[in-house]
Amino acid sequence: MKAEVINPFLESACHVIEQVIQVSPSTGSLGVKEISLIDNHIWIQIGMTGQMSGDIVFGLQEQVALRMVSVMMGGYILTEMDEMGQSAISELGNMISGNASTILSNQGVNVDISPPKVIRSVNVTQFARKKALSIPLMMDGIGELDIQVMIS
């Protein structure tokens, strides 16, 4: 897997987070990571087909997701990830992936993305471990969002 496949998702995530969450994220180190089930985490999984196929997974601690959703909802403080919160965090993943697919299209790479699927550790009994290209985004005062790309 080539490291540059993560760049459109990284660029898009930075742009969308700046617009929606109103913080400028800083980028951590690119690496290969095994995605595994971690307590109190949420994953937003988006499938991709076309000239590139696989999955994009945005991983974050539930408290980070709650902070992000609270900002998205105009400062309304959420204390638990309810249906509204899951919908909002899902939409954030959709915005990032949609923007990334536009970047890819402008580079001549045609892809289709699936609707986001929110996976919470409390709801999962089995989770397939996979290796992914991973890069963390750190957001001051909010926390960290991991972008994980599994492209075949």
Q: Is 87 inside any structural domain? A: yes
Beta bridge partners of residue 141, listed in sequence order: none
pLDDT in tens, 7-49: 999 999 999 999 999 999 999 999 988 877 678 889 999 999 9
**Longest alpha-carbon distance in the chain:** 43
Which two three-digit tokens encode residue 121? 């550790």
Q: What is the pLDDT of residue 4?
A: 78
Q: Is 28 inside any structural domain? A: no
- Domain holding 137, by residue range, is 3-22+35-151
Distances 94 to 34, 47, 116, 141 between C-alpha atoms, Å: 23, 11, 6, 23
Q: Is 97 inside any structural domain? A: yes
Q: Is 117 inside any structural domain? A: yes
CATH value at residue 141: 3.40.1550.10
Residue 123 has pLDDT above 90, yes or no: no
Q: Is 112 inside any structural domain? A: yes
C-alpha–C-alpha distance, residues 149 and 152, integer Å: 10
Q: Is 30 inside any structural domain? A: no
C-alpha–C-alpha distance, residues 109 and 72, integer Å: 31
3-class DSSP state for residue 59? strand
Q: For 147, phi and psi rounded to 5 degrees?
A: -100, 120
**Among positive and negative, which fits the CA dihedral 57, 14, 21, 72?**
negative
Q: What is the pLDDT of residue 100?
A: 95
Considering its fold, how many domains does the chain have in total? 1
Which two three-digit tokens encode residue 140? 């001051």
Residue 129 has pLDDT above 70, yes or no: no
pLDDT in tens, 51-69: 999 999 999 999 999 999 9
Q: What is the mean pLDDT of residues 110-119?
A: 93
Q: Which pTM was predicted?
A: 0.89
Q: Is 127 inside any structural domain? A: yes
Q: What is the pLDDT of residue 35?
A: 75
pLDDT in tens, 77-112: 889 999 999 999 999 999 999 999 999 999 999 999
Quick one: which of 104, 105, 68, 63 has its CA closest to 89?
Answer: 68
C-alpha–C-alpha distance, residues 70 and 34, integer Å: 29
- Gap between the terminal Cα atoms of the chain: 7
Q: Is 124 inside any structural domain? A: yes
Q: What is the pLDDT of residue 1?
A: 57
